[in-house]
Structure 1
Amino acid sequence: MILTARVTAVQAGMRLDDGAARLFPGLSKSRIRKIIDWGGCSIAGTMVRVASRTLAEHDEIVLGVMEPDEYRERLLARDEILYDDRDYLAVNKAAGLNCQRTPYQLKGTVEHAVTLYFRAAGSHEPARVVHRLDRGTSGVMVFPKNRRAAAHFSAALQRGAVEKIYWALVAGAPDADQWTVNAPIAKIDRARYGVALPGKDAQTLFRVRASGVGLTLVEARPLTGRTHQIRVHLAHCGLPILGDTVYGGDPAARLLLHCRSMTFANAAGRTISATAPVDRDFAACCAAAGIPLPVARPAAGGLASD
């Protein structure tokens, strides 16, 4: 929830936390301080993390108010680390987390958790978000550890040299075991995309991974990287993802889309690959439908494979 207010002559000269408490009476001063600390406050479009800042008349204060449980610090657990070498870190992003900071949230994001991981390892490099997953999507995210690795990985993504495999649970059964969607994607309103002209070229390869009672596990390999590409292309096929109510999917505990693996070659030509196990909600939906899932097991060198 985003709250906005403008400083009047009454709050001018006050500390930010004191003035905000007056302008937003529904929030306690302690909660306002926490919002400020977590990067959820901006003045004139700039993030402010100093509660003692002096307010000026006409300042516009914007607060991003998260649910109380979202204030928990996000630290990477050992089982969330999928791959780690001197150039790249791959993690298993949980569903429901923002992968990068927003104007109203810094802490509690995957980006911030990776930054803390780097700091604990003695590195002062930033967590570079070179690719993204939707908030509701889980699975593999790769973070380059230096500029050279970031440039190489970014170039590989742009030329389609990174193999990305996603799993999606859909209701019903596709008409074929394998198919390709080659359909342009365009933004159709503030938060939704669709197959439309004019739009950006988008191509996704699909195949049935397993079938169960009323549900099908579909594997998707996007050959381009458009926003909501897999979600839009499956909805276009009449197969919206379970939990994706934005695109017509039936309600579920979460958006049942998971980035299963990412594979690419580093600058020296060595293959880098990471595979992420699904979470309990995803596994439970598969089990309820009688869909078996392979178990990811670590392989040599810190990689993971089926």
Structure 2
Amino acid sequence: MRKFLPALPLSSLHRMIRRGLIRLNGGTAKPEALLEVGDKIEIPMFLCEAESGSPWVETTAQGADSIKTMILAETEDLLILNKPAGVLVHGSHNSLEAKAQRHLGPRMPPSLSFVPGPLHRLDRNTSGVIVFSKSIIGAKSFTESMQAGKIRKTYLAILQGRMEGNYEWEDYVLRDEKSRKSTATPFHQDLSVKALPRTDRLGQKALTSVHTILSNQAHSFVALRIKTGRTHQIRSQAAARGYPLAGDFKYGALRQQGNSSDKRVNYFLHAWRLEIQGVPMEIKAPIPKNYLQIIKKIFALDEKEVYSLLRQSKI
């Protein structure tokens, strides 16, 4: 019941059961009852209507329709979306997860043991490809593929500073939950535990392949293929080498003259492509229009030239 009515307080749920508003197999239910296959739970309609967070309740047509324009691909087990920048993946009624659940709910068999959800992370201000499970089989298969290194994710970004050539970034990334910031330390630096605060660990290994597509004196347009999935991996690794994402003030990007108090997040990081080894399917998320405008302003390239350059780069 907690999975079906996630926003209902536990005390209210117990009260509804005691009053007989929630019934089991046509009779009075008990909170400690263990369900068996074939059991039937009856819930009053007003609870479902009030439960806007329930994954199976479609509250508005707009809530379901709004996600249709984001769909890049869909299989029997997976839903692949193009996430806009600024949208939370989970954690609110307007999150991508909530929208995906409302979109899928009417088409899926009722289940108290499985709820569709995201299979990997994308930061709020990162756009692009994100995969949701539609079944336990899909979730298990995708997770196993990630653990086996069969999922290849490529991002596009604009970095501050001139970068040339291709690189392999190998770091230890240490996450500070208090500041909500990650610190990357390249492998070759002194990583003795004594040099770290006692409460910290060395961090987790983070591996990223970097390909420079285009650069000028002030900026670099790059493709990054992540081989691990640490929180803020790209942002922290780029900053550690003196090439923070342009506009990523949290990780040291310079502010434009006269905008020292501007705290808006306006960096360019786009999950552009996802490939699954052994599956003849390559998913690409179109570059957002506002990102194309940024590229045009910085590098004087129009949309056709950008995509032509990506094809020529053979990333």
Answer yes or no: same fold by TM over 0.5. yes
Query: What's the offset of the Cα at 1:159?
Result: 2.0
Q: 1:241 to 1:145 in 2, by over 3 A?
A: same
Q: 1:186 to 1:254 in 2, by over 3 A?
A: same
Query: Match for residue 288 of structure 1?
Result: 297
CA RMSD of aligned residues (A): 3.0
Identity across matched positions, percent:
25
Partner Cα distance (1:151, 1:229) in 2: 24
- The 1:75/1:193 distance shift into structure 2, 3 A limit, reads farther
The yes-or-no answer on 1:206 pairing with 2:220 is: no
- The match for 2:95 among 101, 104, 109 is 109
Q: Which residue matches 1:99?
A: 89
Could you tell me which residue of structure 1 aligns to residue 170 of structure 2? 182
Q: Which residue of 2 aligns with 1:264?
A: 276
* Equivalent position SS for 1:115: helix
Query: What SS class does the counterpart of residue 108 from structure 1 fall into?
Result: coil
**Alpha-carbon shift at residue 210 of structure 1 (Å):** 2.3
2:144 counterpart residue number: 155
Q: Map 1:1-306 onto structure 2 (within 5 A).
A: 75-101=65-91, 105=92, 107-122=93-108, 124=110, 126-174=115-163, 176-188=164-176, 190=178, 191-196=180-185, 197=191, 198-212=202-216, 214-250=218-254, 254-265=266-277, 269-289=278-298, 290-291=300-301, 292-294=305-307
Normalised TM-score (structure 2): 0.64
One-letter identity of the residue aligned with 1:285: I
Any idea what SS the aligned residue of 1:183 has?
strand
Gaps of 5+ in 1: 1-36, 50-71, 296-305
Q: Which amino acid aligns with 2:107?
A: A
Q: CA deviation at 1:243?
A: 2.3
User: Which amino acid in 2 is paired with 1:84?
Assistant: E
Q: Is the 8 A contact 2:215 2:221 kept in 1?
A: yes
Shift of 1:74: 7.5
CA distance in 1, matches of 2:216, 2:85: 23
Deviation at 1:75, TM superposition (A): 4.7
Deviation at 1:195, TM superposition (A): 1.7
Distance 1:113-1:75 versus aligned 2 partners, 3 A rule: farther
Change (3 A) 1:149 1:74: closer
Distance 1:38 1:154, change over 3 A: closer
Gap change, CA 1:213 and 1:288, over 3 Å in 2: farther
In the alignment, residue 222 of structure 1 is paired with which amino acid? Answer: I
Decide whether aligned partners of structure 1 residues 47 and 155 sit closer, same or farther in structure 2, where only a CA change above 3 A counts: farther
TM-score where L is the length of structure 1: 0.66
Amino acid at match of 2:230: R
The question of whether the paired residues in 2 share the 8 Å contact of 1:95 and 1:254 is answered with no
CA distance in structure 1 between the partners assigned to 2:99 and 2:177 by the alignment: 32
CA shift for structure 1 position 209: 1.6
Question: Which structure is larger by alpha-carbon Rg, 1 or 2?
Answer: 2
Q: Deviations over 1:9-54 (max 9, x none)?
A: xxxxxxxxxxxxxxxxxxxxxxxxxxxx996xx98xx8999xxxxx
Question: Residue 151 of structure 1: CA displacement?
Answer: 0.5
Q: Is the 8 A contact 2:209 2:226 kept in 1?
A: yes
**Partner SS for 1:271:** coil
Per-residue deviation at 1:189? 5.3
Structure 2 regions of 5+ residues with no counterpart? 14-61, 186-190, 192-201, 256-263, 309-314
User: How far is 1:178 from its partner?
Assistant: 0.3
- 2:268 and 2:11 map into 1 onto residues whose CA distance is 33
User: What SS is found at the alignment partner of 1:184?
Assistant: strand
User: How many residue pairs align between the two structures?
Assistant: 227
Q: Which moved more, 1:195-204 or 1:132-141?
A: 195-204
